[in-house]
Amino acid sequence: MIDAVVFDLDGLLLDTEQLWDEVRERLVRERGGRWHDRAQADMMGMSSKEWSRYLHDELGLAEPPEELNRLVVERMEGRYRRQLPLVEGAVEAVRRLAERWALGLASSSNRPLIELALELMGVAELFRATVSSEEVDRGKPAPDVYLEAARRLGVRPENAVAVEDSASGIRSAKAAGMGVVAIPNAHFRPPDEVLQLADVRLESLAGLTPNAVESASSRP
């Protein structure tokens, strides 16, 4: 039985993975850091505490992690307000599933960015619980953010289905014991061995129907 559906945000509802990459790379280069080709993949799924520490420790920025976090979030907020990078069909998919189930959100994004995005999408009132990985001990692929979403929703993790796009997110939701619908990110497609962990695989949000969600729950 499904009691709730828990959405990811970046890369699933918002086309932001490359935007995060652009904003952090520009900051690193402006401040004289050491950007490299692995940086985006390394930081994908990290909580803000983790990636801001990575900018400081691994990429050589002198500012303390807390200040780096503030600078990146400030720049991301400005980009959202100018033009929110919505994935096609995102609002419709959220509204479609909200008619059947309680909704949660489990995101690696910062709390201010989660709230701003949902407000600009016009769906904030449809989410009963939202969790940022900065509010738990470990970011994805650890299960913490999904377990906390289930706790705030008041449901057992095994009675929830997660909708994810990334390798770290799929691993996180599966580790939490949830069914998983995977809609692979076109820019950073998860490896096939990770996609095989998902219970249902879709090509776009257009296919995210109640039947697809129920199939994720019913797979052995």
Catalytic annotation on 8? Answer: yes
List 10, 15, 21, 165, catalytic entry: 10
Picking from 193, 190, 217, 153, the residue whose alpha carbon sits closest to that of residue 4 is 153
End-to-end alpha carbon distance in the chain: 13
Of the residues 3, 8, 144, 165, only one is catalytic, namely 8
Axis crossing angle, helix 111-121 with helix 65-82, rounded to the nearest 10:
10
- Which of the residues are catalytic? 8, 10
